[in-house]
Amino acid sequence: MPLSKPMQDALELPICPIEPAAHIIGQKWTLQIVYFLLNSSSMRFCELQDRLGGVNPSTLSSRLKMLEEEGIVRREQISAIPPHVEYSLTAMGRDLEGVIREVTRWSNAWLCGSTK
């Protein structure tokens, strides 16, 4: 049954419950970044840059900053020699595994479908 909304729709159009998530996921590179971090526990900036195949470093930088602010990615300065930075997923980020799994399934079924 399609959700029919009576009279109060102007005031409170049924809020789309995925809107805040869509705001994060619906940005370029977010899903791919999470995908790679899920598979490798931690990665460096340049490593991500290589894997993502041609993302521009400004975009990657701001995307990682946003994901850190949202609590999805953790940034750690490693003071070893040579010092560097490692990015990994928080619990919140790791919990996106279900989303990634479903996206992968759908992608394999309908987009990369030739090898099903």
Catalog residues that contact DNA under the rule CB under 7 A: 2-4, 27-29, 44-47, 54-59, 61-64, 75, 81-86
Q: At what angle do helices 97-110 and 30-38 cross, to 10 degrees?
A: 110
Please state the closest distance from residue 116 (CB atom) to DNA, in A. 26
- Among residues 8, 36, 76, 87, which is the contact residue for its own copies, using CB under 8 A? 36
Residues listed for the chain: 116
Amino acid of residue 107? S
- CB-CB contact of 66 with 73 (8 Å): no
Compute the distance between CA of residue 42 and CA of residue 96 in angstroms, rounded to an integer: 16
Please state the closest distance from residue 92 (CB atom) to DNA, in A. 20
Residue 81, φ and ψ in degrees, nearest 5: -115, 115
Selection from its own copies, DNA, none that 57 binds (CB < 5 to 8 A by kind) is DNA
Interaction site with its own copies (CB under 8 A): 2-3, 9, 13-14, 16-22, 25-32, 35-36, 39-42, 47, 50-53, 71, 92, 95-96, 98-112
